[in-house]
């Protein structure tokens, strides 16, 4: 669900004779085939070009047995995909259907959003100002000072003012109960790293999730960090972001999840524990959830 920059340049050259619309349609259709929409049956595909020139795909994911608010929209998936690959900004997004209000607000978090253009259903490229004028902006809560650190800025640490004193993942791991099972400790390290990269500039409540499907899942741990929206409700929880990572690795059977670690501060005013546990009970009843408070 990623097209590297050199391959995308070749693809563009191959469609340089006025067939660009056909190229985007083909990319969107290929993305939408990976959607998981057991509730609506409505598959959404999105593709986005990053500042690096790479192309990222996004799809919608729905989870039976939990509230619809747990759903991941295609545009959100695309942003998390870009984030997972270290992208610093998005320049163009094409979607198979009109972006909903929730996604328009979510995209307000993006770095250099004024450069972003969005099209859907044959529209010309539109700016977010055209799609969501007079919106509630990150600067409405944080002001426009140096603490404002947009999503995909390439400089995400704790995601907000006052974050520089937060411990690095390794430092925080030292404060974790060392009697934990080695496998859980490994997942804890991945969840701490995801929490360190998360975007929580409004609540300053960082959190991350790492999960393991079973012995057959090789490679780095599947993980995701919380992504917050200035309008609060379009925020994407760390479990959802980890499930995006799992989908990117080609997996769609959530019931195969065996072990999950959620890392968050003990006294956090925004806790992911209850919603993570409820979602896992519905989609992965065999999964063991470990809550780790690093300090």
Which residues are annotated binding-site positions for substrate? 60-62
Name which position in 73, 197, 206, 247 contacts Zn ion (CB under 5 A): 73
Which value, to the nearest 10 degrees, does the dihedral of the CA atoms of residues 199, 203, 206, 209 take? -80
Instruction: Name the residue nearer to Zn ion (CB basis): 103 or 194.
Output: 103
Instruction: Name the residue nearer to Zn ion (CB basis): 73 or 149.
Output: 73
Helix (H, G, I), strand (E, B) or coil at 263: strand
Angle (CA) 193 195 197, round 5°: 75
Give the shortest CB-98-to-Zn ion separation in angstroms.
9
Of the ranges 67-75, 108-116, 187-195, 218-226, which one interacts with Zn ion (CB under 5 A)? Answer: 67-75
DSSP 176: S
Instruction: Name the residue nearer to Zn ion (CB basis): 12 or 102.
Output: 102
Widest CA span of the chain, in angstroms?
Answer: 63
Of the ranges 71-79, 87-95, 207-215, 229-237, which one interacts with Zn ion (CB under 5 A)? Answer: 71-79
- For the chain, the distance separating the N- and C-terminal CA atoms, rounded to the nearest angstrom, is 36
DSSP 72: B
Instruction: Name the residue nearer to Zn ion (CB basis): 120 or 167.
Output: 120
The β-bridge partners of 203 are none
Give the shortest CB-109-to-Zn ion separation in angstroms.
14
> Can you tell me the distance from the alpha carbon of 295 to that of 262, in angstroms, rounded to the nearest whole number?
14
Give the shortest CB-103-to-Zn ion separation in angstroms.
3
186 is catalytic: no
Closest-CA residue to 47 (of 68, 20, 16, 69): 20
By CB under 5 A, residue 103 contacts Zn ion: yes
Give the shortest CB-275-to-Zn ion separation in angstroms.
19
Which residues are annotated binding-site positions for Zn(2+)? 73, 100, 103
Per-residue contact track with Zn ion, 82 to 101, x per CB under 5 A?
Answer: ------------------x-
Instruction: Name the residue nearer to Zn ion (CB basis): 73 or 197.
Output: 73
Determine contact, residues 59/74, Cβ cutoff 8 Å.
yes
Judging by beta carbons within 10 Å of its beta carbon (0-12, 13-18, 19+), is residue 253 exposed, middle or buried? Answer: exposed
Closest-CA residue to 31 (of 93, 87, 90, 111): 93
Give the shortest CB-105-to-Zn ion separation in angstroms.
9
Which residues are annotated as catalytic?
75
Contact positions toward Zn ion, by CB under 5 A? 73, 100, 102-103
């Amino acid at each position: 669900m990623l097209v590297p920059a050199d391959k995308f340049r070749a693809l563009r050259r191959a469609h340089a004779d006025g067939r660009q619309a056909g190229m985007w349609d083909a990319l969107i259709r290929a993305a939408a085939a990976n959607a998981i929409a057991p509730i609506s049956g409505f598959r959404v595909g999105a593709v986005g070009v990053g500042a690096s020139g790479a192309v990222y795909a996004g799809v919608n994911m729905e989870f039976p047995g939990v509230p619809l608010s747990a759903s991941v929209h295609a545009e959100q998936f695309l942003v998390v995909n870009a984030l997972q690959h270290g992208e610093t900004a998005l320049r163009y997004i094409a979607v198979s259907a009109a972006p909903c209000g929730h996604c328009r607000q979510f995209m307000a978090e993006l770095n250099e959003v004024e450069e972003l253009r969005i099209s859907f259903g044959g529209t010309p490229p539109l700016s977010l100002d055209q799609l969501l004028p007079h919106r509630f902006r990150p600067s409405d809560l944080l002001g426009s000072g140096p603490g404002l650190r947009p999503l995909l800025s390439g400089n995400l640490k704790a995601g907000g003012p006052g974050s520089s004193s937060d411990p690095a993942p390794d430092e925080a791991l030292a404060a974790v109960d060392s009697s934990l099972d080695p496998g859980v400790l490994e997942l804890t390290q991945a969840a701490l790293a995801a929490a360190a990269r998360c975007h929580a500039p409004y609540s300053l409540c960082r959190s991350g999730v790492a999960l393991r499907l079973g012995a057959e899942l090789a490679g780095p741990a599947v993980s995701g960090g919380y992504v917050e929206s200035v309008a609060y409700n379009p925020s994407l929880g760390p479990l959802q972001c980890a499930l995006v990572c799992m989908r990117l690795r080609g997996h769609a059977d959530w019931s195969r999840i065996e072990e999950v670690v959620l890392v968050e501060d003990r006294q956090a005013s925004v806790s992911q524990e209850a919603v993570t546990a409820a979602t896992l009970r519905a989609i992965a009843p065999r999964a063991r959830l470990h809550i780790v408070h690093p300090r």
